[in-house]
Amino acid sequence: MQCGGAWAQYLVPSQGQVGQRASPAIFYHKTSSFATHLNRAGNWYAPEMGLDEGGNIETCPPSCYNDIGMSDFEEVEHTADRALRVRGRDLGELLVNAARGMASLLVPDLDGISSETERRFHIEAFDSEGLLVEWLSELAYLAEMEMLVFREFDLLRVMPTRLLAVGRGGYVPVLQEHIKAVTYHNLAIVQTDQGLEAVVVFDV
Amino acid sequence: MVDSGDLKRMGEYVYEIPQSFREDMRVPARFYADSELLTGALRDKSLEQLVNTATLPGVARYALAMPDIHQGYGFPIGGVVATELPDGIISPGGVGYDINCGVRLLATHLEEAEVAPHLDDLASALYANCPSGVGKGGSIKLKPGELDRILEKGSSWALGRGYATESDLERTEDGGCLEGADAGTVSQRAKERGKGQVGTLGAGNHFIEVDRVDEIFDEAVAQRMGLSIGQVAVQIHCGSRGLGHQVCSDYVKRFQRAVHRYGIQLPDRELVCAPLSSPDGRDYLGAMKAAANYAYANRQVVTYHVRRSFEQVLASKVSNHGLYQIYDIGHNMAKVEEHEIDGRYVKLCVHRKGATRAFGPGFSELPAVYRDVGQPVLVPGSMGTASWVLVGTERAMAQTFGSTCHGAGRAMSRSKAKKSVWGSELREQLEASGIQVRAGSMAGLAEEAPIAYKDVDRVVEVVCGAGIATKVARLVPIAVIKG
């Protein structure tokens, strides 16, 4: 299921793949062009997505991926660090499931986190794998610096190299894992019969 | 996957994966192991990762791994890869996220019997005074601009603030300060992460351990270091904290694009790199050195907290509660060094990711006190098991670019370790064997259970059997402090 709007499916050659074994991946993104602007306070806003100049959401877009029980991620054995296989029907769902998967490493009970604190994210990267790494790195940074863990996400804009999102979560007294960094180790978003899949390795 | 049929035995403890194993290898890959450690290495992807490092542009002679090799990301942990300058590459992933993570060994003037009645209080004081755990900030408040001085001066900054002695600096690799560190190449976010964490341990496998010197193997070298049987010593294992993690992340991200500019093809994106002669390569080197200096300063401030804890608990109870430094080494670093290859001396960028520099006797890089005995090498074991003090050798210079092992090396994933043993149960076992334990998280304790690691004694037998280090002393733990 997609958030509202006309969505189109594009075959995007995987840009910037370093290795020779790179495989193309299918990404979904919205067809219309989309502009964001910085206001005087340095916050981004996007009139097309219902954000006013104060950075407030005027009309909150439907939240498509917030059924935590449906999150598709699993831990993969890794000798020294932690790794997750994450799946999604499209790039947006993959990003949300990856975020929830990482949160499950940080706290024992995702349902126990409040959703009182809201943060906005504007992530840009070299390619979609980079977008996944930068997105998770941003969330890991907030966990380390503020003990803030997110459980719900509204994706306002998903492009292969750009993400605008709102996350809701809560402060936790203790983290059960320290994510030092999100790595690019063998990272490739690949197409499967069900959608997209990637294995992300975290340095802990 | 590499299997045993792909290996050529080059000596009792040396195996080679020939260059013909994969088309993109530029040199063979070699690793040190006995038959049991070899079986372990074949179980995960560590040898495949070692083969990947043999494809790096400018890689010299062979890609190497030590017997504590295990699967990492990009490089295997235990990997040593040298690239020839001027155009050889430097790889942030080849250093790792915890830049200059390392070990420091301090010694006391006390025997175990003098400390034993106060060990409970001492463990509690160390846990209280040395901040540990995820997101725990330190007690050191920095003035504006002071973080940049840490990045450029390392332990010298700590000396100026009264957290170090001249002798500490003399007995630290690089004197605790790498020349050429450039705070300007370190991002604001990295500085943000690092500014509140000076003097903190962090979590994961980092620790403070109080040890007893259990066995001496080389009396003369031990005496030079100031180690004797029965003496109480302290190990500190930590690194550059969030600052180092961010520096690595920043440059791995930047180099994703840069590799295309330099036309570099790689089998794994985590191996991204840039020629050391390029602006990208030079910027990373400057930032890596800055993070390394932060790590030296960090271990120095933790040392100050350790000394404070000994003073609090023992000042009125023993005649001399002071601690003096034996040595401090990094085991996640890249260094420009000169080595002999086929009769010619060449400048190399030596990446050691989970490996320790082990220069033999006579090198000007060693402090005067150790110049004629070789570089001290500190090899911590897993929690509750022995640790080792070794020294570097001439054979290490000839065979491994002056490198040796860095620890026991993991053998089991963290999740499997947690399923195998409860943290509370492990704590009881350790305490029953006479080891005091202070830990912020029982799950974290279980992740670091000895069952999850290789046998450190076996790892040390291999490096010493191969002649790339020699034994000086063996330490056993009496108290463990973890985040």
User: Tens digit of pLDDT for each residue in A78-134?
Assistant: 888 899 999 999 999 999 999 999 999 999 898 899 999 999 999 999 999 999 999
Q: What are phi and psi of B325, to 5 degrees?
A: -85, 135
Number of compact structural domains in chain A: 1
- Which residues are within 8 A (CB) of B445 and not within 5 positions of it... i.e. 6 or more apart? B383, B423, B426, B427, B437, B439, B482
Q: What is the CATH number of the domain that holds A127?
A: 3.55.10.10
Mean of pLDDT values over A146-164: 95
The HSE-up count of residue B407 (CA atoms within 13 Å, CB side) is: 30
- Indicate the pLDDT class of residue A53, thresholds 50, 70 and 90: low
- Indicate the pLDDT class of residue B7, thresholds 50, 70 and 90: very high
Judged by DSSP in three states, B307 sits in: helix
Which of B256, B268, B413 comes nearest A16 by C-beta? B256
For residues B64 and B16, give the distance between their C-alpha atoms in angstroms, rounded to a whole number.
Answer: 9
Interface of A with B (CB under 8 A): 16-21, 75, 77-82, 125-127, 129-130, 133-134, 137, 141, 143-145, 147, 174-178, 180-187, 201, 203-204
Q: What are the chain A neighbours of B73 within 8 Å (beta carbons)?
A: 81, 183, 185, 201, 203
B176 has a chain A CB within 8 A of its CB: no
Share above pLDDT 90 across residues of chain B, in percent, rounded to a whole number: 91
The HSE-up count of residue B269 (CA atoms within 13 Å, CB side) is: 28
Residue B141 lies in domain: 4-411+453-482
- Residue A186, in any domain of the structure: yes
Q: What is the pLDDT of residue A60?
A: 37
Chain-chain contact of B272 with A182 (C-beta, under 8 angstroms): no
Chain-chain contact of B253 with A175 (C-beta, under 8 angstroms): no
Reading the block at residue B138, the tokens are 């330190």
The HSE-up count of residue A38 (CA atoms within 13 Å, CB side) is: 4
B265 has a chain A CB within 8 A of its CB: yes
Q: What is the pLDDT of residue A92?
A: 95
Chain-chain contact of A19 with B46 (C-beta, under 8 angstroms): no
Q: What is the CATH number of the domain that holds B461?
A: 3.90.1860.10
Residue A146 lies in domain: 63-203
- Residue A2, in any domain of the structure: no
- Residue A40, in any domain of the structure: no
Taken in order B362, B366, B372, B375, is the CA torsion positive or negative? Answer: negative
- Residue B23, in any domain of the structure: yes
Mind telling me how many Å the CA of A180 is from chain B's nearest CA? 6
Q: What is the pLDDT of residue B1?
A: 87
- B332-341 vs B274-275, strand pairing mode: unpaired
B72 has a chain A CB within 8 A of its CB: yes
User: Tens digit of pLDDT for each residue in B113-126?
Assistant: 999 999 999 999 99
pLDDT over threshold 50, residue B66: yes
More confident residue, B190 or B384: B190
Reading the block at residue A61, the tokens are 């877009």
Judged by DSSP in three states, B91 sits in: coil
More confident residue, A40 or B469: B469
B48 has a chain A CB within 8 A of its CB: no
Q: What is the pLDDT of residue A12?
A: 29
Chain-chain contact of A185 with B24 (C-beta, under 8 angstroms): no
- Residue A29, in any domain of the structure: no
- Residue B159, in any domain of the structure: yes
Q: What are the chain A neighbours of B407 within 8 Å (beta carbons)?
A: none
Q: What are the chain A neighbours of B245 within 8 Å (beta carbons)?
A: 180-181, 203
For residues B152 and B150, give the distance between their C-alpha atoms in angstroms, rounded to a whole number.
Answer: 5
| Closest residue, chain A, to B94 (C-alpha) | A185
Reading the block at residue B323, the tokens are 């601690």
Chain-chain contact of B96 with A203 (C-beta, under 8 angstroms): yes
Looking at every residue in chain B, the average pLDDT score rounds to 96
pLDDT over threshold 70, residue A20: no
- Residue A122, in any domain of the structure: yes
- Which residues are within 8 A (CB) of A143 and not within 5 positions of it... i.e. 6 or more apart? A106, A149, A175, A179, B135
B187 has a chain A CB within 8 A of its CB: no
- Indicate the pLDDT class of residue B483, thresholds 50, 70 and 90: confident
Mind telling me how many Å the CA of B59 is from chain A's nearest CA? 18
B261 has a chain A CB within 8 A of its CB: no
For residues B306 and B312, give the distance between their C-alpha atoms in angstroms, rounded to a whole number.
Answer: 10
For residues A105 and B410, give the distance between their C-alpha atoms in angstroms, rounded to a whole number.
Answer: 20
Number of compact structural domains in chain B: 1
N- to C-terminal Cα separation, chain B: 36
Q: What is the pLDDT of residue A33?
A: 30
- Residue B257, in any domain of the structure: yes
Which of A78, A79, A204 comes nearest B204 by C-beta? A204
- B274-275 vs A7-12, strand pairing mode: unpaired
Which of B24, B77, B252 comes nearest A80 by C-beta? B77
Task: Give the amino acid at B60.
Answer: A
Q: How far is CA B212 from the centre of its chain?
A: 21
User: Tens digit of pLDDT for each residue in B271-324?
Assistant: 999 999 999 999 999 999 999 999 999 999 999 999 999 999 999 999 999 999
Q: What is the pLDDT of residue B134?
A: 76
Which of A130, A144, A183 comes nearest B242 by C-beta? A144
Exposure letters B165-194 (e unless 16+ CB within 10 A, then b): beebbebbbbbbbbeebbbebbbebbbebb
Q: What is the pLDDT of residue A3?
A: 33
User: Tens digit of pLDDT for each residue in B48-57?
Assistant: 999 999 999 9
Q: What are the chain A neighbours of B248 within 8 Å (beta carbons)?
A: 181
- Indicate the pLDDT class of residue A64, thresholds 50, 70 and 90: low
User: Tens digit of pLDDT for each residue in B251-265?
Assistant: 999 999 999 999 999
| Closest residue, chain B, to A182 (C-alpha) | B249
pLDDT over threshold 60, residue B375: yes
E strands, chain A, are 7-12, 25-30, 37-38, 44-45, 73-76, 82-88, 117-124, 148-159, 162-171, 181-182, 190-191, 196-203
Mean of pLDDT values over B401-421: 92
Share above pLDDT 70 across residues of chain A, in percent, rounded to a whole number: 66
Reading the block at residue A55, the tokens are 């950075």
- Residue B425, in any domain of the structure: no
- Which residues are within 8 A (CB) of A181 and not within 5 positions of it... i.e. 6 or more apart? A137, A140, A202, A203, B97, B245, B248, B249
Q: What is the pLDDT of residue B23?
A: 97
Active site residues of B: 406
User: Tens digit of pLDDT for each residue in B233-254?
Assistant: 999 999 999 999 999 999 999 9
CA dihedral B141, B142, B144, B147 (to 10 degrees): -150
Mind telling me how many Å the CA of B356 is from chain A's nearest CA? 18
In a mutational test of the A interface, the residue from B43, B73, B410 whose CB has the highest number of chain A CBs within 10 Å is: B73
Least Cα distance to B459 among B68, B75, B44 occurs for B68
Which of B97, B193, B257 comes nearest A203 by C-beta? B97
Q: DSSP letters along A4-40, please?
A: SS-EEEEEE--TT--STT---EEEEEESS----EE-T
Peptide bond into B279 cis (omega under 30): no
B41 has a chain A CB within 8 A of its CB: no
Token pair 């990272």 is at which residue? A187
pLDDT over threshold 50, residue B18: yes
For residues B412 and B395, give the distance between their C-alpha atoms in angstroms, rounded to a whole number.
Answer: 31
For residues B168 and B164, give the distance between their C-alpha atoms in angstroms, rounded to a whole number.
Answer: 6
